[in-house]
Amino acid sequence: MAYLALKGLTKRYGDLVAVEGLDLAVERGEFISLLGPSGCGKTTTLHMIAGFVEPTSGSIELDGQALDKVPANKRGLGIVFQNYALFPHMTAAENVAFGLEMQKMPRRERDTRVHEALQLVGLAHLADRHPARMSGGQQQRVALARALVIRPSVLLLDEPLSNLDAKLREEMQLELRSIQRTVGTTTILVTHDQSEALALSDRIVVMNQGRVEQVADPFSAYEGPASGFVGGFLGKANVFTPQAESGEAAGRARIGEASIPMDGLPVPRGTVIVRPEKILFSEPAACALPGRMKARVFQGNHWLCQVETSVGEVLVIRQNDGVPVPDEGQPVHLRWRARDMCPVDSGTRP
Amino acid sequence: MNARLNPWLLSAPALVVYATFLVVPLFLVFLISFFNFEFYGGIEQAFSLANYRDIVTDSYYYEVYARTFGVAAAVTVVSLLLGTAEAYVLSRMSNRWKGIFLMVVLGPLLISVVVRTLGWALLFGSTGLISQGLMALGLASAPVNLMYSNTGVIIALTHVLVPFMVISVWASLQRINPSTEAAALSLGASQFTVLRRVIVPQIMPGILSGSIMVFAMAASAFATPAIIGGRRLKNVATAAYDEFLNTLNWPLGAALAMLLLLATVLVLVSANRMIERRYGAIFNQGQR
Amino acid sequence: MNFRNGPLALLFHVLFIGFILAPIVMVCAVAFTSEGFISLPANGLSLRWFKAILDNPRFIDAFWFSLGLGALSATIAVSLAVPGALALARSRFRGREALLAFFMSPLMIPHVVLGLAFLKFFTSAGLVGTYFGLVMAHIIIVMPYALRLVLASATGLDPALERAAQSLGATGWTTFRRIVLPLILPGVISGWVIAFITSFDELTMSIFIASPSTTTLPVRIFLQIEDTIDPLVTAVSAALIYATVLVIFVLDRAVGLEKLFVGKGR
């Protein structure tokens, strides 16, 4: 049975639908990301789980118990807020101790647990410092320690890394994952950063306009997006609409000038997505799509290429492995395997 | 759905106090302003506009109101000029002096108005310092007594109220982007032009709202006109005091008070609204 | 900007400051006179009139009375202002603007009108001349100042802090006591101080409702001045000035007079 079960969770503000019919089953110890653009309902969902927002309908169950009527201060969930929400008038240690004080833990045990928690995030030496004198990364870690020290049943993270600069963010992502694996707490992360979701999660929940588009592990979600939206949101995607060939060329798909053999796979109906890194530059061939290199950008370990073709602009990513990449303005030919064409629904409703 | 209380519940204690000790008393005054006063019979609960009619038709009250608003207007004009200039001069000082002089200018607000007015009473008067000073400078041939004169009241009231003007203009000055001044200078404007075309238009809201505040306070002032103006020069506040506490004609006093309240509130609310409308959009003054 | 002030501007400034200080200095100077009538201390400074204050229980009693009245009014006003400010700061509910305007309304009402109104109300309610009545009247007058300052602190409070406390298991009361109150304390304290000073200095309204047993210091001074202006009342006023100057310095050091009067936004 799922540890945390959301069933038909809905939140409406008058005519505005923030979250519609959300179903999710989270296993104990899982790291789940709620991923989507602003306004997709991910933060509202988090707030409903936390108890700050009352759902319009649907239910939330934790370990078999209904959470709906439980007030926010009795749910035993750990929360890390987007701007950390550290109590400015308390030291790091006092911040972390607060939740334990609320549990009426005796002072000695409390001090031990606080020390443990601060050590877990590597900040034992800053126990007596106030938040104002800490860097963003340090504040974030104190917030994490404060949420974890109460041994919460679920850890909720509301875009905790969005205020950090890129390098720090990467570091923290790795640390977050490692801490979560060490402690084993069921975790739900809200983020709009797809690479973050891909890096940290056991499973990703992609949301758009209040609805769930796909729930899958990172690799599956990336390789096999369920909809055009997911395809476009998780990484870059080229969208094509292949036509089925008939007669002699039956069993092939036509995209522009290219006639692509399907190798036994059914010709996809509707639109498909092809990831830029799956496209190769090749010699002219019947199965290759001709085009002209419009622009190419060197990114260090790879090239990002924009190719103008008869079916629109195609994005190609090539590893910087020594194989020369055509110059701008050159005519090129693009080819990819049949199985790299991932069919998605043309609309975004699953 | 949170542990926070309903805002109306939180405001309830304060609301109860206000309702009992503000709304009710004001309403009572409003009510009795319509009653009649019998010299030997006390207050009669008839309902009429007699008091208001008396006030409007009596030349005595005409003089009182004229004096009140005339003095208030004079005080406003002088405060406007002095206060705006001082605020501007202050803003261009180095931080150390700025802090010191702001303290000097704003500090007196914390001293009771009685004390400040006493100082002017000491300065005025035919043996007062001002009189002696003017004679010494040859500007006066006889002792100058500013006590019990409109001029004296104006001077003393200006002293009491000009800090409010400074505050209002100062607040406006703080909101100005200093680069606008620099930009104008770089485009060849003289200092005076910068003042006239760049600074003053931007501090207009502060000047106007400060003026309104000063006018309203000057029109309803009591202590200073009472001490400096004396028994002869009555303004609305001291006249109302007379009716209430000396003549015991409460209905008439109440009517005077109501008219004063009406005038004050009207001036404050409508002028503020006008300022909001005219300047609010330009300066995006979003207030919470 | 660091554009310097020209000589003309500085001359104006000096004259203006002179204007501001003239009456205050005058009071302090005359208070040191050795004569039995109003005069400048031409024959040397004398403390006779300051000593005379001690022989005049009226002024001393009035002083303590004003002190107690101010402290009580300020305390009650602040206690009412804190929940009100929290209500106004937290959310944009319907009627919020109206509520704020209502709480601020005493600022717009001339104290003469308030004095009249309270006198009438207290007479009808049998509260005339009572301490209770005077306190309530003062509370009404100082509330806007207390509220304004507490509200400024409360609006700066991050709402996420309360949610964080909740998520860690704190009840509403604990959240208020441990998180909200410590963080709005600056506003509460400065609100109290301004409320106290406003109450202490208040004259116009108090004149209407004061009685022989409930006379505040400003009222006592005013009544004396109406009678005759003598060196004694001048000495009392001078003493008041010194006390206030001390408060000005302390306040400016602690909070900054600019912040108190001008505020950073509303």
| Residues on chain A touching C174 (C-beta within 8 angstroms) | 102
Distance (Å) from the alpha carbon of A167 to chain C's nearest alpha carbon: 26
| ipTM associated with this complex | 0.87
Chains linked to C by 3 or more Cβ pairs within 8 Å: A, B
Of C166, C174, C183, the CB nearest to A88: C183
Is A350 contained in some domain?
Answer: no
How many structural domains does chain A have? 2
Judge whether B195 is closer than 8 Å to chain C, CB to CB: no
Residue B186: φ, ψ to 5°: -65, -25
Of A52, A73, A87, the CB nearest to C169: A73
> Quick one: B138 exposed, middle or buried, by C-beta within 10 A (0-12, 13-18, 19+)?
exposed
| Residues on chain A touching B2 (C-beta within 8 angstroms) | 52, 72
C186 has pLDDT over 60? yes
| Residues on chain B touching C106 (C-beta within 8 angstroms) | 22
Determine, for residues C262 and B167 on separate chains, whether the beta-carbon distance falls below 8 Å.
Answer: yes
pTM, two decimal places: 0.82
In C, minimum Cα distance to A80 occurs at: C164
Instruction: Specify the pairing of strand A31-35 against strand A186-191.
Output: parallel
Task: Indicate whether A155 and A299 sit together in one domain.
Answer: no
Evaluate whether A291 touches A334 at the Cβ level (below 8 Å).
yes
Would you state the torsion angle of the CA atoms of residues C219, C225, C228, C232, taken in this order, to the nearest 10 degrees? 80
Is A213 contained in some domain?
Answer: yes
End residue of a domain, out of A196, A214, A233: A233
**What are the angstrom distances between the C-alpha of A229 and each of A8, A245, B22, B257?**
22, 27, 61, 70
Half-sphere exposure at residue B145, Cβ-oriented, CA atoms within 13 angstroms = 9
Distance, C-alpha C131 to centroid of its chain: 19
Distance (Å) from the alpha carbon of A54 to chain B's nearest alpha carbon: 6
pLDDT of residue B143: 75
C43 has pLDDT over 80? no
Instruction: Give ∠ CA A130-A135-A137 in degrees, rounded to 5.
Output: 115
Evaluate whether C82 touches B14 at the Cβ level (below 8 Å).
no
Q: What percentage of chain A exceeds 70 in pLDDT?
A: 98
Distance, C-alpha A46 to centroid of its chain: 14
Evaluate whether A267 touches A244 at the Cβ level (below 8 Å).
yes
- Separation CA A197–CA A181 (nearest Å): 16
Of C160, C178, C179, the CB nearest to A81: C160
- Average pLDDT over chain C, rounded to an integer: 89
Of B14, B32, B241, the CB nearest to C80: B14
Task: Indicate whether A229 and A252 sit together in one domain.
Answer: no
- Average pLDDT over chain A, rounded to an integer: 90
Cβ density class A265-290: b for 16+ within 10 Å, e for less: eebbeebbbbbbbbbebeeeeebbbb
pLDDT of residue B285: 43
C120 has pLDDT over 70? yes
- Separation CA C175–CA C173 (nearest Å): 5
Task: Indicate whether A141 and A13 sit together in one domain.
Answer: yes
Determine, for residues A102 and C168 on separate chains, whether the beta-carbon distance falls below 8 Å.
Answer: yes
End residue of a domain, out of A208, A233, A258: A233
Of C167, C178, C179, the CB nearest to A79: C167
Give the best residue of A43, A47, A73 to mutate against chain C (max C CB count within 10 A).
Answer: A73
Is A28 contained in some domain?
Answer: yes
Evaluate whether A346 touches A284 at the Cβ level (below 8 Å).
no
- Separation CA C170–CA A89 (nearest Å): 17
Residue A66 tokens read as 């209904």
Task: Indicate whether A17 and A65 sit together in one domain.
Answer: yes
pLDDT single digits (tens) A11-41: 999 889 999 999 999 999 999 999 999 889 9
List the single range of A341-350, B15-24, C157-166 with lowest mean pLDDT.
Answer: A341-350
How many Cβ atoms from other residues are within 10 Å of residue A245's Cβ? 17
CATH number (domain holding residue A272): 2.40.50.140
Range of the domain at A272: 238-344
pLDDT single digits (tens) A38-71: 889 999 999 999 999 999 999 999 998 999 889 8
pLDDT single digits (tens) C208-242: 998 888 999 999 999 999 888 888 999 999 999 99
Task: Indicate whether A322 and A224 sit together in one domain.
Answer: no
pLDDT single digits (tens) A139-177: 999 999 999 999 999 999 999 888 888 888 888 899 899
Shortest CA distance to B94 belongs to which of A191, C1, A83? C1
pLDDT of residue C263: 60
Residue A296 tokens read as 């190419």
Residue B41 tokens read as 């019979």
Distance (Å) from the alpha carbon of B79 to chain C's nearest alpha carbon: 11
pLDDT of residue A347: 46
Evaluate whether A137 touches A93 at the Cβ level (below 8 Å).
no
- Separation CA B72–CA B66 (nearest Å): 10
Task: Indicate whether A247 and A189 sit together in one domain.
Answer: no
pLDDT single digits (tens) A214-226: 999 999 999 989 8
First to last CA, chain A: 25
Determine the average pLDDT of the residues in C172-183.
93
In chain C, the domains with their CATH numbers are: 57-261 (1.10.3720.10)
Is A153 contained in some domain?
Answer: yes
| Residues on chain C touching A73 (C-beta within 8 angstroms) | 165-171
pLDDT of residue B41: 52
Task: Indicate whether A87 and A176 sit together in one domain.
Answer: yes
Task: Indicate whether A263 and A212 sit together in one domain.
Answer: no
Would you state the torsion angle of the CA atoms of residues C155, C161, C166, C167, taken in this order, to the nearest 10 degrees? 150
Task: Indicate whether A182 and A196 sit together in one domain.
Answer: yes
- Separation CA B230–CA B234 (nearest Å): 8
Shortest CA distance to B143 belongs to which of B126, B158, B163? B126
Task: Indicate whether A15 and A93 sit together in one domain.
Answer: yes
pLDDT of chain B, 288 residues: tens digit per residue: 344 568 888 899 999 999 999 999 999 888 888 887 765 556 666 677 778 888 888 888 889 999 999 999 999 999 999 999 999 999 888 888 888 999 899 989 999 999 999 999 988 876 677 777 777 787 777 777 888 889 999 999 999 999 999 999 998 888 888 788 788 888 887 878 888 888 888 888 889 989 998 999 999 999 999 999 988 899 999 998 888 888 888 888 888 889 889 988 888 888 878 877 777 665 544 443
Distance (Å) from the alpha carbon of B3 to chain A's nearest alpha carbon: 8
Task: Indicate whether A145 and A69 sit together in one domain.
Answer: yes
pLDDT of residue C80: 95
In B, minimum Cα distance to A50 occurs at: B2
| Residues on chain C touching B107 (C-beta within 8 angstroms) | 244-245, 248, 257
End residue of a domain, out of A194, A213, A233: A233
Distance (Å) from the alpha carbon of B286 to chain A's nearest alpha carbon: 25
Evaluate whether B237 touches B263 at the Cβ level (below 8 Å).
no
* A323, amino acid identity: V
The domains of chain B are located at: 21-280
Determine the average pLDDT of the residues in A73-93.
91
The three-class DSSP label of residue B54 is: helix
Distance (Å) from the alpha carbon of C133 to chain B's nearest alpha carbon: 9
| Residues on chain A touching B1 (C-beta within 8 angstroms) | 51-54
DSSP C235-260: HHHHHHHHHHHHHHHHHHHHT-HHHH
According to DSSP, the residues that pair with A313 across neighbouring strands are A308
Task: Indicate whether A174 and A31 sit together in one domain.
Answer: yes
Domain B21-280 has CATH 1.10.3720.10: yes
Determine, for residues C19 and B85 on separate chains, whether the beta-carbon distance falls below 8 Å.
Answer: no
Determine, for residues B3 and A52 on separate chains, whether the beta-carbon distance falls below 8 Å.
Answer: no
Extended beta strands in chain B, E state: 36-38, 42-44
